[in-house]
Amino acid sequence: MKTIILDGYNVIYKIPELAIKLDESLSAARTALAMHMSNWGRKYLYQQIHIVFDGQDSATRGYSQTALHGIECSFTRTKEEADDRILSMIRKSKEPFNITVISADNRVSNSCRTHGVSVKPPSFLEQTTKKTNRKNLGITKRINYKQNKEIIDYYAAHLKGKGKI
């Protein structure tokens, strides 16, 4: 299952359109992020989106888990950081290779990579909402000349076998 986990406040502070919502309230910024991810997740076919926020405030009424615009959000307990919750989720996952974590935090990024998780900076969410192309997504696949020739030769032989050339 293609999953994305966001370091909530880390992402909010790094994306200007979301950070400006902090002038209204933390709740407004969280809601804006959830709305953004709801649209983004549908567009990029993520089956599960989870946002982890540090702590609880009076707006969350003590709930540790909630849904905002269909996005699963969790709030850490007292003395627990979002970083630790994210790493715990990664360690418990049976398919870490299907997870992408969005964070600019070095500890989170490095720890997630050791478990085979793809890590992207918050700007990844901005880039993909603009003009989408392979470069923006950070997707590059380069093969050397020998591999390229082998692929072409194999495909040519396949087409000859089918009488196409």
Instruction: Confirm or reject CATH 3.40.50 for domain 3-132, answering yes or no.
Output: yes
**Confidence class for position 159, pLDDT limits 50, 70, 90:** confident
Q: What is this structure's pTM? A: 0.71
pLDDT of residue 160: 84
Whether pLDDT at 63 is above 50: no
Residue tagged 């599960």 (tokens): 48
Q: What's at 38, amino acid-wise? A: S
Report the pLDDT averaged over residues 57-67.
Answer: 56
Residue 153: pLDDT band (50, 70, 90) is confident
Q: How far apart are CA 29 and CA 87, in angstroms?
A: 23
Mean pLDDT across the chain, nearest whole number?
A: 83
Q: For residue 37, count other CB atoms closer than 10 A to its CB.
A: 25
Q: pLDDT band for 14, please (50, 70, 90 cuts).
A: very high
Q: What confidence category does residue 60 fall into, taking pLDDT thresholds of 50, 70 and 90?
A: very low
Q: What is the pLDDT of residue 57?
A: 54
Token readout for 55 is 């702590």
Q: What angle do CA 35, 138, 43 make, to 5 degrees?
A: 30
pLDDT at 132: 46
The residues with which 75 forms a beta bridge, in sequence order, are 53
Mean pLDDT confidence for 5-9: 95
pLDDT in tens, 66-109: 778 788 999 988 788 999 999 999 999 999 999 999 999 999 99
pLDDT tens-place string over residues 111-148: 999 999 999 999 999 865 454 444 544 545 566 777 77
The pLDDT of residue 56 is 64
pLDDT at res. 24: 93
